[in-house]
Amino acid sequence: MAEHSVDVPCDDFAAFQEALKTLRVIDDKIIYALNTTVPTQSFSGQVDAAATCKGLYGELSAAHRHREGAIKKCMLGTSQSVAELRAQKAKDPDNFEVIKNLRAEQLKLRTMQSEVNIEEVIRERSLKVFQERCRNHYRPPKST
């Protein structure tokens, strides 16, 4: 279900957000996935709910790690770009092109930092729904 093969571009913020949106499909469809894979009480004997929950948790965890790594990678690259532009600005404080590029990179970095907060909210929501449906079948490891 997860799209782990999506490459997250860092240079174009719109493409960055679109890639994250694609990678967040598993979180967007978690309720549907749980409803179709985790049995209700009356069908609990027909499906191995523990294995199903464990597999779904593995997919969720992998998707979260992949997105977190992609966001951090892009933030690191953008931070380095900001540092380089600051150094250029220090050498030539009147260069309008450098100032313009620095502001654009700083804005991109701030927006990427907000994606970290968005990611945290999405992760908490998905794990809460997962816990509600799978708490009787599978207990994930403590380090989430």
Q: Which two tokens stand for residue 88?
A: 């250029």
Q: What is the pLDDT of residues 2-55, one digit of tens each?
A: 445 568 899 888 999 999 999 999 898 888 888 887 766 655 556 677 888 899
pLDDT at 45: 59
pLDDT at 48: 77
What Cα–Cα distance (Å) separates residue 126 from each residue in 9, 24, 30?
Answer: 25, 10, 7
Whether residue 3 contacts residue 25, with contact meaning beta carbons closer than 8 Å, is answered with: yes
Q: What is the pLDDT of residues 113-131, one digit of tens each?
A: 999 999 999 999 999 999 9
